[in-house]
């Protein structure tokens, strides 16, 4: 009987150890929530100097769809569009208990889920805020959805159509 109990303890210990090893890895995309306001202020300065827009990405490091969105932002097709046209700021909402004032200021209804995006002009004017949870299920979308979004909201350059990707 004692051997059976010992085996059970070993089995449970191995299960717990294995569960810790195979936990999905999450990257730390979203900085400490306290960094959001200073990072937005810095992004506004950079955007004004470089004539780019500010892209606010509200989410959390725990959010799988936020991780997918970040992968899509930085893939081979989207990275050049993002870098040339936007200053990206990740706004950490914690467990929906941080930066609620920023979400409200930029018209982001967090009750619809994250990730949620807002686009600001180089002067800080709100141009777009995600109202309907369009990106909250990123795992069901592909990178082309992000490409379309970036192209739609990139600033128009002199003599270019907004819908031209490489303009």
pLDDT at 20: 46
pLDDT at 74: 97
Handedness of CA 14, 16, 17, 18 (dihedral sign): positive
For the entire predicted model, the pTM comes to: 0.80
Beta bridge partners of 53: 86
pLDDT at 37: 98
Beta bridge partners of 87: 54
CA–CA gap between residue 115 and residue 56 (Å, rounded): 10
C-alpha distance from residue 152 to each of 4, 79, 149, 162 (Å): 64, 15, 5, 7
Handedness of CA 106, 108, 109, 111 (dihedral sign): negative
User: Can you list the residues of the chain whose pLDDT is less than 50?
Assistant: 13, 15-17, 19-23, 162
N-terminal to C-terminal alpha carbon distance within the chain? 75
The domain segmentation of the chain, as residue ranges, is: 26-153
pLDDT at 133: 79
**Which of these, 149, 143, 7, 135, lies nearest to 64 by C-alpha position?**
135
pLDDT at 4: 60
* CATH superfamily, domain at 26-153: Glutaredoxin (3.40.30.10)
């Amino acid at each position: 009987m004692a051997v059976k109990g010992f085996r059970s303890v070993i089995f449970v210990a191995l299960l717990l150890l294995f569960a810790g090893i195979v936990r999905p890895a999450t990257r730390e995309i979203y900085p400490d929530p306290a960094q959001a306001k200073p990072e937005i202020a810095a992004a506004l300065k950079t955007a004004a100097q470089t004539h780019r827009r500010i892209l606010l990405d509200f989410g959390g490091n725990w959010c799988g769809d936020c991780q997918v969105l970040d992968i899509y932002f930085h893939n081979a097709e989207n990275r050049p569009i993002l870098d040339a046209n936007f200053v990206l700021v990740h706004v950490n909402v914690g467990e929906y208990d941080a930066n609620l004032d920023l979400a409200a200021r930029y018209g982001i209804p967090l009750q619809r889920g994250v990730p949620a995006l807002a686009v600001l002009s180089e002067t800080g004017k709100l141009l777009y805020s995600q109202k309907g949870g369009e990106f909250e299920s990123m795992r069901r979308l592909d990178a082309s959805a992000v490409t379309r979004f970036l192209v739609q909201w990139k600033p128009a350059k002199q003599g270019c159509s907004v819908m031209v990707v490489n303009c």
